[in-house]
Amino acid sequence: MAKEIAAVITLFGGSGDLAQRKLYPALFGLYQRGVLKDHFAVIGTARRPWTDEYYRDIVKTAVAGDSIESTAQASAFASHFYYQSHDVTDAAHYITLKELAAQLDEKYAAGGNRLFYMAMAPNFFATIASHLKSEALLTATGFNRLIIEKPFGHDYASAKALNDSITATFDEKQIYRIDHYLGKEMAQSLLALRFGNPLLRTVWNKDYIQNIQITLAEAVGVEERAGYYETSGALRDMVQNHVMQLLAYLTMDEPAALTADAVHTVKARAFDQLHRYTEAEVATNFVRGQYTTATIDGEAIRGYRDEDGVAQDSMTETFVAGKITTTAPNFAGVPIYVRTGKRLTRKSTQLTVTFKPQANSLFGVTAADTLTIYVEPSQGFSLQLNGQKLGQTNVLAPAELAFRHDPAAAKSAPEAYERLINDVLHGDQTNFNHWNELAQTWRFVDVILAAWAKDKTMPTYAAGTMGPQAAKDLLARDGAEWFWQPTRIQMAD
Ligand SMILES: NC(=O)c1ccc[n+]([C@@H]2O[C@H](COP(=O)([O-])OP(=O)(O)OC[C@H]3O[C@@H](n4cnc5c(N)ncnc54)[C@H](OP(=O)(O)O)[C@@H]3O)[C@@H](O)[C@H]2O)c1
């Protein structure tokens, strides 16, 4: 059984979508594993006037399983939840919260440990942090930790302002900036794959790698999130955070240890070494696009500009592809191609490392060996090698060594949010964003945003395709192509 951690957890945004879909199930998972047991309480806060009973029903519904046993467990779990109606802009409410936290600390013997989770719109983060300080909600005994959701800023300047405001209350060691991709099984296992295999460790450098590709493809459109998405776009929503974090895991140096400090050091260095484009270079190295209407499987799909809540002349990109290079000695000259978008052919996050084909006197120039890491929906990796064609001596044919986690086993492994909250409870910052990383990635992205702001053209792509033609041309110029080229009829990757 896991070691129990005691804490009073205050959740700002306790009635919200994230809390109900992700956070309550994640906390329940920790309860079922015994990390949260007898000595914890959760205070959910939001403006609506819920009672504790009503709130507990919401929590039970969010975590309910099918069996009688899990229903009983959900009730016992929900009994640790308390609701406090609270407007985060009202100083007096923090005094009430502080008193409730103190009472619950005593009731559950939580040892002064406090976890504050900001699961609200980001414009409130600074307000909450400053009130936690001015109304003295941090304790002198036990730990005080802050979990903060993305988006962390809108550009470098706003991210810095936000960081300044939260570091006025919390120090860096107390801040856990979430990027839920870092909680995903295969993102985390990149370290095991890269550094746990002498075979890969030896060839993971510019001498052997031809290019690296990162694809985060979504099949859905903007759905109900147009209000947010119109102010964000694919570059801010996916590239600055998730794509960049995966890129760092693929290109960073080997950390001196598997500790937060050591991993953050090599990641920050990897971001430092990225070639930061000038605005003039953006046009040749980054492509954006917007999806347009299409008929898929007989269903008419709306174009982005026709979606509810999207401006008819919107210049928000729903697709980004880019070529990134680094000055890191191990990877200098290796192109890293990234792409992400909505309404692409199929949902998949996958990373491909293509190794340099090497001419030899026996077989001439052979097909490139490739390693693909499947992050989602399937989880695993595959190595494509040259084998011999069956029955044909010395004739090469592609052969695949494929591994996938068993879907049922993968389903019962902890979800990203459960892993990440578990890390916070244990004080492990490894899988969270250090401020240095965010500062660097925003600086990288800001130049692209500035260049696009001056460009009045918006390439388009039909919904259901893998982006505008320019995304293909970007690689073709280098004599390369996207490794993953899905069609509608392929099985899930
Ligand atoms: N939903 C997701 O899947 C997801 C994924 C990744 C990141 N995030 C991030 O997580 C955060 C929360 O997202 P969400 O989707 O859960 O948002 P949401 O559903 O809109 O929830 C917002 C919460 O804030 C509360 N609230 C709003 N104004 C308030 C105020 N003045 N004082 C106190 N409470 C207030 C709301 O309750 P009342 O109206 O009752 O006050 C509600 O509980 C955002 O930063 C978002 O970017 C969400």
Sheet holding 209-217, edge to edge: 396-404, 380-388, 370-376, 348-355, 209-217, 336-341, 319-324, 286-292, 460-462
Task: Considering the chain, tell me which residue range(s) the CATH 3.40.50.720 domain(s) occupy.
Answer: 7-149
How far apart CA 160 and CA 154 sit, in angstroms, is 10
Task: Name the CA radius of gyration of the chain, rounded.
Answer: 24
Question: How many angstroms does the Cα of residue 122 sit away from the middle of ligand 1?
Answer: 9
Nearest partner of 465 among 445, 480, 482, judged by Cα:
482
pLDDT at 491: 45
Query: Into which CATH architecture does domain 182-476 fall?
Result: 2-Layer Sandwich (3.30)
Structure tokens at 349: 């996050």
Place of tokens 């993953």: 484
How far apart CA 36 and CA 32 sit, in angstroms, is 8
b (16+ CB within 10 A) / e for 261-275:
eebbbbbbebbebbe
Nearest partner of 82 among 48, 54, 113, judged by Cα:
54
Question: How many angstroms does the Cα of residue 485 sit away from the middle of ligand 1?
Answer: 36
Q: What are the angstrom distances between the C-alpha of 355 and each of 338, 352, 460?
A: 17, 10, 32
- Cα angle for residues 409, 197, 183 (degrees, 5° grid): 45
Question: How many angstroms does the Cα of residue 393 sit away from the middle of ligand 1?
Answer: 63
Nearest partner of 463 among 344, 347, 346, judged by Cα:
344
CB-based contacts of 72, cutoff 8 Å, min separation 6: none
Residue of the CA atom closest to atom 6 of ligand 1: 150
pLDDT at 492: 47
- Cα angle for residues 146, 150, 152 (degrees, 5° grid): 85
| Straight-line distance from the first to the last Cα atom of the chain, in angstroms, rounded to the nearest whole number | 35
Catalytic residues: 242
Task: Considering the chain, tell me which residue range(s) the CATH 3.30.360.10 domain(s) occupy.
Answer: 182-476
Place of tokens 């052979």: 366
Could you read off the pLDDT tens digit of each residue along the chain, which spans 493 residues? 689 999 999 999 999 999 999 999 999 999 999 999 999 999 999 999 999 999 999 999 999 877 777 888 999 999 999 999 989 999 999 999 999 999 999 999 999 999 999 999 989 999 999 999 999 999 999 999 999 999 999 999 999 999 999 999 999 999 999 999 999 999 999 999 999 999 999 999 999 999 999 999 999 999 999 999 999 999 999 999 999 999 999 999 999 999 999 999 999 999 999 999 999 999 999 999 999 999 988 899 999 999 999 999 999 999 999 999 999 999 999 999 999 999 999 999 999 999 999 888 899 989 999 999 999 999 999 999 999 999 999 999 999 999 999 999 988 889 999 999 999 999 999 999 999 999 999 999 999 999 999 999 999 999 999 999 999 999 999 999 999 999 865 444 4
Ligand 1 contacts (CB < 6 A) are: 13-19, 21, 46-48, 86-89, 119-122, 149-151
Q: Best substitution site from 85, 120, 128 to test ligand 1's pocket, by max atoms within 8 Å of Cβ?
A: 120
Is the domain 7-149 a CATH 3.30.1370.60 member? Answer: no
